[in-house]
Amino acid sequence: KTVKYNKRRYKRRNRIEIMFGRLKDWRRVATRYDRCPKVFLSTIALAVIVIYWL
């Protein structure tokens, strides 16, 4: 029996999973060296900018 799924939701979910996979390529983000939440979120923001700029 086939499972029904919503193509639009699946596409959005796939994009988010790909984004997290790219973020995990950054060792500092994957291992969370920064314990301060502000610094950690800043690192994520910087990683996202670099990932999508290049």
Read off the pLDDT band of 6 (50, 70, 90).
confident
Domain boundaries, the chain: 7-53
Closest CA to 52 of 31, 10, 7, 22: 22
Distance CA(50)–CA(11), nearest Å, equals 23
CA distances from 45 to 9, 23, 33, 40, 51 (A): 25, 10, 15, 9, 10
Read off the pLDDT band of 26 (50, 70, 90).
confident
pLDDT at 3: 82
